Amino acid sequence: MKKTIAGQDSGFVVSRRKLLQSAAGLAGGAMLPAGMALPAFADDKPAIGTYPAGSSGSSVFIGITVPRTGTYAVQGEDELKGYELAIEHINSGHELIKKISPKTTKGVLGKELKYGVADSAAKPNEAVQAQQRFISENKAMMITGGTSSAVAVALNKLAQREKVLFVCGISGSNDTTGKDCVRYGFRQSFYGQTAAAAISPTLIKTFGKNMKVAYLTPDYTYGHTVTKSMQDNTAAAGWTTITNQISPLGAPDFSSYLLNVANSGADLLINVNWGHDAVLSIQQAKQFGVLDKQKLVIPYQVPFLAREVGQALIEDVYACTSFWWTMEDKYPLAKMFVAEFEKKYGYKPEWGANTCYMQFAMWANAVETAGTFYPPEVIKVYESGAKLQSTSGEVYFRPEDHQLVRPCVIVRGKKTAAMKSKEDHWEVLDILPGEPLMQKPDAFGCKLGDYT
């Protein structure tokens, strides 16, 4: 049997005998519950992507790209911790993983997960090159990455071309599961449209109608789609954009943009910047007196923002997020996750780590449910709409665009005097069901493409 990548004959040959030996080894290891039939193996399915080569041994490989340098490095390291904790839990058959993936024993289909990590520096080309190596050299059965939505979109395209599953880390652009969606890509985090639809009613109730708004927007797919979603969701209340200051990713200085904001006459500053760009722009907005005249709003919350800018600058600031650790008071799996993460890393998890942990746990469940690593069958499990247990309650993937239907969380920065601990930065105001916040599956131009 020959394995083909992107239409090119790789020359890699897998023998029927070797595959049968793998099946025998799995059965001999008693990896499946009594009475359950063995999953179908590669000798009755055509080679596709890295299948069957990547799953023919005792382990499977995952390619991870996160920004470890550059403006998103702090968030990238947090995402990596979430991935690594999930791999550790999957390999050990941890109780928390079993709550999300009930058929997991140890590993995925009894195979140990191994992984490689590369620094994307939030640059699409670097992420794609690294993942191409993981696919070609390590036969990665699944790849992951994000933080920058430009990276996520690029990896979507790579995954579809190579027919290797891509589970996205952080990506806030509507395009990731919109016009740039693919059959082989999946996202579980919230995004621009859901953030805007969730937070806008709270902002309108708090600040009133007919607000004049200044935007700070990073110049790439995340920034533009989040800003447009905020504009669309506040237009009916008479909110108007006085100025939209667009800056490059990794801008070292926001003074020229903030001067325009300061002179705009806006009532509100909606800062869409992320990572270290958000930190710098908020600190400089305070230095230049902008925040003395305009209220700050952060529609898409940045992990570690409060820690980096100081609590005083986020007091009474509204934001939308995917997860905050005090959700442990409402959701049992959140309580388990927070405890496990803090035990391993010594701090409360931010939402990036949570997102990445959940992505791997859900992938493990999809493979276990399919009973095979064969990508089309794994994809069809995701597309079944089956309800999944998560750290934010019951969720499911939409089959039409591969976007997880999940709650959005509205938070407000606590006053320093009200903090109960050094990590008690945000107060959870509301946890909103995801489905009413989401656009129709085809509204942003999603066309998933082929399975094979």
Q: In what order do the strands lie in the sheet with 59-66?
A: 112-119, 59-66, 142-145, 165-168, 185-187
The span from the first CA to the last CA of the chain, in angstroms, equals 16
- Do 42 and 117 meet the contact criterion of CB atoms below 8 Å apart? no
Segment (H or E) for 48: none
Structure confidence at residue 44 (pLDDT): 79
- Do 286 and 313 meet the contact criterion of CB atoms below 8 Å apart? yes
CA distance 55 to 385: 26
CA distance 171 to 437: 17
Sheet strands (E) in 48-174: 59-66, 112-119, 142-145, 165-168
Range 52-68 burial, b when 16+ CB lie within 10 A, else e: bbbbbeeebbbbbbbbb
CA distance 109 to 377: 14
Q: What are phi and psi of 17, to 5 degrees?
A: -60, -45
Structure confidence at residue 43 (pLDDT): 52
Helices (H) and strands (E) in the chain, counts: 14, 17
Nearest one of 355, 264, 231 to 303, comparing CA atoms: 355
Helix (H, G, I), strand (E, B) or coil at 87: helix
Structure confidence at residue 434 (pLDDT): 97
Q: Positive or negative, the Cα torsion across 113, 187, 412, 122? A: positive
| Largest Cα span, the chain | 74
Cis peptide upstream of residue 52 (ω within 30 degrees of 0): yes
CA distance 86 to 130: 21
State how beta strands 426-432 and 59-66 pair. unpaired
State how beta strands 165-168 and 112-119 pair. unpaired
Report CA-CA distances (Å) from 121 to 73, 125, 128, 273. Answer: 7, 10, 12, 17
Instruction: State both tokens at 363.
Output: 């992938």
Report CA-CA distances (Å) from 211 to 195, 230, 307, 412. Answer: 19, 13, 29, 20
Q: What are phi and psi of 53, to 5 degrees?
A: -55, -40
Mark the ranges of the chain whose per-residue pLDDT is less than 50. 1-42
Angle (CA) 399-231-434 rounded to 5° is: 30
- Do 297 and 305 meet the contact criterion of CB atoms below 8 Å apart? no
CA distance 391 to 337: 7
Helix (H, G, I), strand (E, B) or coil at 406: coil
Instruction: State both tokens at 141.
Output: 């059965």
Nearest one of 444, 404, 435 to 190, comparing CA atoms: 404
- Do 411 and 203 meet the contact criterion of CB atoms below 8 Å apart? no
Output the DSSP codes for 279-311. Answer: HHHHHHHHHTTHHHHSEEEESSPPTTHHHHH-G
Structure confidence at residue 136 (pLDDT): 98
Point out which residues pair with 167 in neighbouring strands: 144, 186
Structure confidence at residue 36 (pLDDT): 40
Sheet strands (E) in 71-224: 112-119, 142-145, 165-168, 185-187, 212-218
Residue indicated by tokens 């063995």: 38
**Reduced 3-state DSSP string for 239-277:** CEEEEEEEECCCCCCCHHHHHHHHCCCCCEEEECCCHHH
Segment (H or E) for 36: none
Instruction: State both tokens at 153.
Output: 């979109």
